[in-house]
Amino acid sequence: MAGVAQASVESGVATFDLAKQPLRELNQFLHHGLGTTKKVRVLNPDGAHNIAAGVNAPVEVEVDGHAGYYAAGMNQLATVLIRGNAGPGVAEGMTSGVVNVKGFASVSAGAAAHGGLLVIEGDASLRCGISMKGIDIVVGGSVGDFSAFMAQAGRLVVCGDAGDALGDSLYEAVIYVRGKVKSLGADAHEEPMAAADYEALAALLKRAGLKHDPKQFRRVASKRDLYHWNADANQEY
């Protein structure tokens, strides 16, 4: 396979330079050619789409720059570090593993993802964690409007502020937010933090390498009123 042949592999580390090699070689290597490779470095990503999408192996992928759409989408088991910003839909549909974005993430980060941990050290744009189904997302900065929209399971930790309509139409996902919330979405409300919340949050912050005091966060969860459709509610929840 072309990708296998052209990867420069030294002591378990393979390097792909996307300024010289097509993205397909990298992704084919990640899907079919890893062998004993423990780590893959990606140079000059330059905003390419689908970098390290669909990986299903406990490999470490280091992206040395900015990634485009859907980086590390559908990830399973891999640890993907993006030393830059990520485009729309980073780690969308992830089921396990860790994705870490050193810069900011564009819209729909962690969308519809079932598991794993997504850490965004900068800000995340709109719709962060939209329809999340079990992923944990830790955002070091702030999140944009409609974050955790229809979020079904998992935890979203926001160390900065949240935009409008946070947690609109939430199911059983839980949001921990440290800064200001511009507005809560329909059926989302603040709840008291319990001992289990502090414990869970402390563990997530530790995994994300962030040193905030869990006591500074509030818990946002579903009122569960929308679980039961009420025709007389006049669309107000």
| Contact in structure between 144 and 164 (CB atoms under 8 Å) | no
Among 3, 33, 68, 185, which residue sits at the site for other proteins (rule: CB under 8 A)? 68
Among 85, 131, 147, 222, which residue sits at the site for other proteins (rule: CB under 8 A)? 85
Output 64 or 191, the one with its CB closest to other proteins.
Answer: 64
| Contact in structure between 138 and 119 (CB atoms under 8 Å) | yes
Q: Which stretch binds other proteins (CB under 8 A): 85-93, 177-185, 189-197, 219-227?
A: 85-93
> What six digits make up the tokens of 150?
């229809």
Residues between 35 and 64 with contacts to other proteins, criterion CB under 8 A: 44, 46-49
What size, in residues, is the chain? Answer: 237
Q: Which stretch binds other proteins (CB under 8 A): 55-63, 73-81, 98-106, 193-201?
A: 98-106
| Contact in structure between 137 and 109 (CB atoms under 8 Å) | yes
> What six digits make up the tokens of 43?
């140079």
Among 27, 50, 125, 147, which residue sits at the site for other proteins (rule: CB under 8 A)? 125
Output 126 or 137, the one with its CB closest to other proteins.
Answer: 126
Query: How is the beta sheet containing 218-222 ordered, strand by strand?
Result: 8-10, 13-17, 39-43, 60-64, 79-82, 98-101, 117-120, 133-139, 153-158, 174-177, 218-222, 188-191
147 binds other proteins (CB under 8 A): no
Q: If you search the block for the tokens 């390097």, which residue do you land on?
A: 15
Output 65 or 167, the one with its CB closest to other proteins.
Answer: 65
Among 16, 29, 70, 104, which residue sits at the site for other proteins (rule: CB under 8 A)? 104
Output 46 or 172, the one with its CB closest to other proteins.
Answer: 46
Among 81, 107, 143, 201, which residue sits at the site for other proteins (rule: CB under 8 A)? 107
CA distances from 205 to 74, 126, 158, 173, 176 (A): 23, 22, 10, 17, 11
Binding site for other proteins (CB under 8 A): 44, 46-49, 66, 68-69, 85, 87-88, 103-104, 106-107, 125-126, 144-145
